[in-house]
A and B are shown apart, each in its own frame.
Chain A
Amino acid sequence: MIRGVILVIIGAVAAPLLGGLIAGVDRRLTAWLQSRYGPPIWQPFFDVIKLFGKERLVVNGWQVFCAHVYITATMLSVVLFFLQSDLLLILFVQAFGAIFLVIGAFSTTSPYSQVGANRELIQILTYEPLIVLVFVGIYLVTGSFKISEILAQTKPLLVSLPLLYIVLCYALTIKLRKSPFDFSTSHHAHQELVKGFLTEYSGRYLALVEIGHWYEVVLILGLCSLFWATSWIGVLVLVGVTYLCEILIDNIMARMTWQWMLGYVWTMGLAMSFVNLIWLHGR
């Protein structure tokens, strides 16, 4: 019981702090790759706190509503993750938040927001089946969708699911809004869609969305960590290397079109999942 409460607190409070820190490190490293100095590591927190101190400026009530639902759902998904719950359930709850964010973006008549919302839907469409397939792979290895069962494994999942890990990394790249998949909105401002589907969220509501995003980042990095959950060093190395690769890819890639993303990620993702799954099946 006590352990459960502690896990809930970790999930609800520590996760966004960690997520913010990761975002800070990300910006710093990106700056370093571009031979700049970069902002302080705490920059994301400054940004969010500043946003909370701003005036409420709304387009309509739906955005406010959706931003709150979004952060609730993402928080819940992370808490469920730390409670070692069911993977599919976590994905669905996460989708709940993501969908409401899109509905909020749709609720304005702003063309930027609308186009961004459409593109965000395509992104969800692209990564969702892949994540489900990754979970199926995990199921085939461990016989369960429960994280508690995965943690009971003695061999890292990475050994039996190397290709599915790469598939998960595709999803991670999309979810992190990194190039070449950052066309619904992006961290680097001033793109063709202003700020995509986040254009009309402002002030504290944008801050909520940002915190929700941190939760999501933690969630998906948490999923990555499951692949080497047998040792702490393994987790750190795996997640660290993965994230470094993400930053590198972000910096060397151009933004592509959604057609390309859907075609490329689905073909590569499905092919790799198939190979890996059949290979598991065959054993």
Chain B
Amino acid sequence: MDTIKAFIRKSRAKSPWLLHFDCGSCNGCDIEVLACLTPVYDIERFGIINVGNPKHADLLLVTGTVNHRNKKVLANLAEQMPDPKIVVALGSCGLTGGIFREAYNVIGGVDKIIPVDVYVPGCPPKPEAIIDGVVTGLEKFAEKKGDKS
């Protein structure tokens, strides 16, 4: 039983599928995320796939600020991801609201709505930093409790 669990843990760390949600970003962060997919950075070598569907995703990558309009979407997406899952907030905006934090419609960082596991600062963060953040998240992901059965 334990070997199976260990095996599943290892597999988790090797295969995080990622859902990228642009919450209210200026698109700077998004471009950097997409850069990670390009041959230069090639995050698929870590087994990471960018899936467009919360039901298949393990890792929610959120860029940009949360505002009153899209806070529900963020919560919904997180809700539709099966456990175990981790959330990575990206960029100053994702962390705190960044330069938009004073705007009338902005709530603030991602963690105002859903629990965040990894914070990646930067405006925008470099692809290396994003990859670093995701890989840090993987360790947490592997250890998380998932399905009880």
Contacts and interface: CB of A to CB of B under 8 A. Distances in A.
Are A and B physically bound partners?
yes
Interface string B32-50: 0000000100101111011
Chain A's interface: helix, strand, loop or mixed, by majority?
A: loop
Contact of B45 (A36, A199, A202): A36
A189 B42 contact: no
Contact of B15 (A36, A43, A195, A201): A43
B51 A195 contact: yes
Contacts of B50: 189-190
Contact of B56 (A36, A191, A195): A195
B82 interface: yes
Interface residues of B, number: 30
A129 B10 CA distance: 43
B14 A46 contact: yes
Interface in B87-107: none
B44 A38 contact: yes
A91 to B, nearest CB: 30
A41 to B, nearest CB: 11
B60 to A, nearest CB: 14
B115 interface: no
Interface in A199-215: 199-203, 206
Contacts of A56: 82, 147, 149
Interface string B56-94: 101000000000000000000000101110000000000
Nearest to A110: B55
B83 A46 contact: no
Contacts, number: 94
Contacts of A27: 44
A206 B56 contact: yes
Contact of B146 (A45, A53, A201): A53
B130 to A, nearest CB: 17
A191 B83 CA distance: 24
B42 A31 contact: yes
A55 B8 contact: no
A34 interface: yes
B97 to A, nearest CB: 27
A37 B82 contact: no
Interface in B5-30: 7-12, 14-15, 17
A31 B11 contact: no
Contact of A202 (B15, B56, B146): B56
B8 A190 contact: no
Nearest to A27: B44
Nearest to B40: A36
A54 interface: yes
